[in-house]
Amino acid sequence: MTINALLLSSSRVGDTPYLAHAIPFIKPLTTQAQKWIFIPYAGVSMSYNTYLASVVTGLSELQLDISGIHQHPDPRQAIKNADGILVGGGNTFHLLHQLYHHDLVGLIREQVAQGKHYIGWSAGSNVSGLSIRTTNDMPIIEPPSFNGLNIVPFQLNPHYSNYLAPGHNGETRAQRLLEFTKVDPITPVVGLVEGSALWRQGDTLSLLGNQSAYLFCGEQQEIPIPAGTDLSHLLR
Distance (Å, whole) CA 16 – CA 7: 19
The answer to whether residue 70 is catalytic is no
Active-site residue (options: 128, 159, 196, 212): 159
The answer to whether residue 97 is catalytic is no
| Contact status, residue 36 vs residue 65, Cβ threshold 8 Å | yes
Distance (Å, whole) CA 153 – CA 104: 19
| Contact status, residue 223 vs residue 189, Cβ threshold 8 Å | no
The answer to whether residue 122 is catalytic is yes
In this structure, the number of other CB atoms found within 10 A of the CB of residue 30 comes to: 18
Mind giving me the DSSP string for 69-105? GGGSS-HHHHHHH-SEEEE--S-HHHHHHHHHHTT-H
Coil, strand, or helix at residue 191? strand
Mind giving me the DSSP string for 130-179? SBSTT--S---S--S--B---SSSSEEETT------TT--SPPHHHHHHH
Active-site residue (options: 9, 10, 122, 125): 122
Q: Which of 127, 121, 45, 129 is nearest to 86 (CA)?
A: 121
Active-site residue (options: 11, 137, 196, 212): 137
Active site residues: 122, 137, 159
